[in-house]
Amino acid sequence: MAEPFLDSSSDYVDRALAGFALDHRDIVDLHDNPAFVRAKATAPGRRVGLVSGGGSGHEPMHAGFVGAGMLDAAVPGKVFASPHNRQIYEASRAVAGPDGVLHIVKNYTGDRINFGIAAERLAHDGIPVARVLVDDDVATESEKTATGRRGTAATIVVEKLLGAAADRGDDLDSLAKLGSLVASASRSVAVASLAHTSPVTGELAFPLPEGEIEYGVGIHGERAAQSIARPPLPALVSRMTTEVLGKLPAGDRAIVLVNGLGGTTSIELYNVFALVAEALHGRGVEVAGSLVGTLSPALDMKGFSITVTIPADDWIGLWDAPARTAALRK
């Protein structure tokens, strides 16, 4: 048992948000009731406000990617729970540009519905709104449900590329189309060797036998569809990279995210990244952009995800464009 350092008698999500906004007071403002984080600065040429959001427990996503060059606002829910439509609606009203607002939504039922309700309200107010749905997790591809692939760390790639495109003055339709292209050119897969600790009970969310890992785990503490005997790291990374590449269009360059799930050290993540780069190189694909770190965790789960985006010609320029957010600066 590893009890989190949280005061369970308080609203620790709100308190974390207040701490985050104070730490990054040069970049963001915190709006209270309803709660959302808003960028202090945005490019003068930006015509569309970019808004994302989702459950808490995935920090720095999304508030950490609010700021010049990326999101105009982020809307946090409670731990692993979608934000309320009112938060999304009011954040969108606050940052809508002359061409309206674009919602970047991870594919979960609650997020789809709440962003959808907010979009109906914005349309009612005459504010143009469009949505980019991110559904990158290959582990959920074959499920026999109508829900489709989950959205995970590729959201950060979408937020970065769309932020740069918004800064050059792209209109709402162009951004929505680009976002859809980036989402469909991005896939991820995640593994874990230890579940996250429940902030409520202090217990691990699920048991895992010695020597096994969860292959295809999600970011809400849900178990993967399969547990596998733990292979050596190079073999594991090679298998994951191969599986992700197999779901993507052919290309000779890649934007790569190696994302810690919360309980994974930098030395582990950089080992993984070096092995991903090797695996890609072996298949004739070179790393053209990358981000390594704890970007979209599942609280303190010990594990990591690999995201690969096969970029179109002008996406590398968008990836390298300036950004000034709490979690990503370029």
Partner 1 sequence: MLMSTYLEAAETAHAALTRIDQAAGDGDFGDNLRGGLRGVVAALPADAGLTTEFTVAGTYFLDEVGGTSGPLIGLLLQNVAVSLGRDGETDAALVAGLEAGTAAIQRVGEAVVGDRTMVDTLAPTLDDLRTSGDPVDWAAIAGRALEHARATASLSPRMGRASYVGDRALGVPDAGAMGIALLFWALASRSSSLAFPSELASPSEPASSSEPASSSELEA
CB 315 within 8 A of CB 182: yes
List 41, 113, 200, 233, residue binding partner 1 (CB under 8 A): 113
Angle between helices 233-246 and 266-282 (to 10 degrees): 60
Q: What share of the chain is helix, strand, coil (3-state, %, to 5)?
A: 35, 25, 40
Compute CA distances 281 → 43, 191, 275, 320, whole Å: 36, 22, 10, 21
Distance (Å, rounded) from C-alpha 115 to C-alpha 96?
Answer: 15
User: Within its chain, how far is the Cα of 83 from the centroid?
Assistant: 15
**The only residue of 38, 62, 67, 85 in contact with partner 1, by rule CB under 8 A:** 85
Q: How many residues bind partner 1 (CB under 8 A)?
A: 30
In whole angstroms, how close is the CB of 128 to partner 1 at the nearest point? 16
Which of the following is catalytic: 58, 62, 103, 196?
58
For residue 232, the 8-state DSSP code is P
Active site residue 220: yes
Coil, helix or strand at residue 173: helix
Give CA–CA dist 127/131, Å, rounded. 13
Cα 301-146-240 angle, rounded to 5 deg: 40
Residue 267's nearest CA partner among 294, 237, 296 is 294
Is the CB of residue 140 less than 8 Å from the CB of residue 152? no
Binder to partner 1 among 60, 67, 83, 179 (CB under 8 A)? 83
End-to-end CA distance of the chain: 39
- Site mask for partner 1 (CB under 8 A), range 119-158, x = bound: xxx--x---------------------x------------
Q: Is residue 109 near partner 1 by the rule CB under 8 A? A: yes
Query: For residue 143, what are its two tokens?
Result: 């499920």
Binding status of residue 199 toward partner 1 by CB under 8 A: no
Q: Are 311 and 289 in contact (CB under 8 A)?
A: yes
Q: Is 222 in the site for partner 1 (CB under 8 A)?
A: yes
Active-site choice (24, 62, 103, 220): 220
Distance in Å, CB of 245 to partner 1, minimum? 27
Residue 108 found at the interface with partner 1 (CB under 8 A): yes
Measured CA to CA, the distance from residue 163 to residue 323 in angstroms comes to 8
In angstroms, what is the minimal distance from the CB of 8 to partner 1? Answer: 14
- Minimum Å gap between C-beta 105 and partner 1 is 11
Clarify whether 24 is annotated catalytic.
no
- Please identify, using beta-carbon distances, which residue of 218 and 311 lies nearer to partner 1: 218
- Write each residue from 251 to 290 as x if it is in contact with partner 1 (CB under 8 A), else as -, in one continuous string: ----------------------------------------
Least separation in angstroms between residue 124's CB and partner 1 is 7
The stretch near partner 1 (CB under 8 A) out of 7-15, 37-45, 80-88, 253-261 is: 80-88
Q: Is 55 in the site for partner 1 (CB under 8 A)?
A: yes
Catalytic machinery residues: 58, 220
Q: Which spans of this chain sit near partner 1 (rule: CB under 8 A)?
A: 54-55, 77-78, 80-86, 89, 108-114, 116-117, 119-121, 124, 146, 218, 220-222
